[in-house]
Structure 1
Amino acid sequence: MNGPALQTFAAECAQGLPGAQLEHPFGPDWDVFKVRGKVFMLMTEVPGRPVVILKTDPGEAQALQEHNSHITPGYHMNKKHWITLEGGTGVDEELVTELVTDSYLLVVSHLPKAEQPVDPHACGTGTRVGR
């Protein structure tokens, strides 16, 4: 999947999640997806390359980066808790769906229970580290 297709598909995934909202707090060059006011995904271009920036578990972030050259530390974000995904070989709809959903559920799990649009523990996750 190339960069523009990656961003289009990631945006479709994010917009389908309960309570997800698209905002542009950093200007028109940044798409910011939030759930209950908390960021779970950002999209922009990094010197001509479309990227998707996602929250992730620190342990998984390192494993994902080791197994996929298209996953790097989060651009302009905490490198321990965020990853940057760009298009390329091995980046497919299944991987993007899992990474977007995992990011969303990670943020939802830290919201007060009364504000959670879904029960994050009832949803299955499973990022494919070996990709």
Structure 2
Amino acid sequence: MNGSLLHKTATEYAEELPGAELDHPFGADWEVFKVRGKVFLLMTEVPGRPVVILKADPGEAHALREQYSHITPGYHMNKKHWITLESGEGVDKELVRELVTDSYRLVIAHLPKAEWPVDPHTYGSHMRAAR
């Protein structure tokens, strides 16, 4: 998957998520997706390379960095709770969809239950089972 396809794919999946909204709080060079005002996905270019920055469970983030050379600690974010995804070998649409959905679910889980657009404990669980 090339860089422009990475951004396009992440955008398509983020736009499908209930309550997700696109914002540009850091200027035109940053696309930021939020749910109920909380960030779950950021996209920009880091010296000419398109990247997607996502929230991740710390244990899962460590495992992903070990497994994929194109996943690194979150750019300008908490390195324990965020990852940066670049295009490259092993990065396919299914992985992007899974990571976007997981980031969204992690953010929702920290909202008051009354604000949940979906149940973060069950939403998207069919995707994880298929992988």
Q: Partner amino acid for 1:25?
A: P
CA offsets, 1:79-98, max 9 Å, x none? 00000000011100000000
Per the alignment, residue 83 of structure 2 pairs with 83
What amino acid is the match of 1:59?
Answer: G
Residue 119 (structure 2) pairs with residue 112 (structure 1): no
Say whether residues 1:23 and 2:35 are aligned partners. no
Q: Between Structure 1 and Structure 2, how many residues are aligned?
A: 129
CA contact (8 A) 1:7 1:51 kept: yes
1:12 equivalenced with 2:23 (yes/no): no
* RMSD of Structure 2 on Structure 1 (CA): 1.6
Runs of 4+ in 1 over 3 A off after TM superposition: 125-129
Unaligned runs of 5+ in 1: none
Q: Residues of 2 paired with 1:27 and 1:33: CA distance?
A: 13
How does the TM-score come out when normalised to structure 2?
A: 0.95
Greater helix fraction, Structure 1 or Structure 2: 2
Q: State whether residues 99 and 127 of structure 1, in contact with CA within 8 Å, keep that contact through their aligned partners in structure 2.
A: no
Structure 2 counterpart of 1:126, one-letter code: R
Q: Sequence identity of aligned pairs in percent? A: 73
Q: Distance in 2 between matches of 1:120 and 1:88?
A: 29
Amino acid at match of 1:45: E
1:1-131 matches, cutoff 5 A = 1-123=1-123, 124=125, 126=128
